[in-house]
Amino acid sequence: MGKIRGYKDLVAWQKGMDLVVEVYKVSALFPREERFGLAKQVRDAAVSIPSNVAEGYSRPSRRDYVHFLDIARGSANEVETQLLIALRLGYVDDGRAAAALELTNEEQRILKGLVDGVHRSDKSSFREA
């Protein structure tokens, strides 16, 4: 792994951005009447993930950084739940939902690993975890 120079170098941010794109594609398939309902909600939750990774990275303390990573983790859980709701309602088919759900699960694992790494790192290098 290369040197982390900023939040854009974090895999958690990069995969979060990929998830946003996938969520936008999937939610575009929802019925028109869901444009301001579930589609907006799942999009907002997805956008929150890389946004909070970026914001947390800029915070000066480990505690603040982890706080924003925890918010990102919560948003990833929201995305998963909302995609499962869309699937149950028949807004997307299993195949299309599976790709978005796999990205969501990957992001959840990455965020957990990042939080664990930040907790384990020494104070001088906690951003590189």
The DSSP line for 64-75 is HHHHHHHHHHHH
In a domain, 114, yes or no: yes
- 119/125 Cα distance (integer angstroms): 11
* CATH number of the domain enclosing 44: 1.20.1440.60
Reading the block at residue 129, the tokens are 């975890």
Whole-number mean pLDDT of the chain? 93
The pLDDT tens digits for 19-44 are 999 999 999 999 999 989 999 999 99
In a domain, 1, yes or no: no
Pick the closest to residue 129 from 24, 19, 7, 44 (CA basis): 7
- 118/13 Cα distance (integer angstroms): 15
Domain extent at residue 48: 7-118
Q: 46: burial class by Cβ within 10 Å (0-12, 13-18, 19+)?
A: buried
The pLDDT tens digits for 72-109 are 999 999 999 999 999 999 999 999 999 999 999 999 99
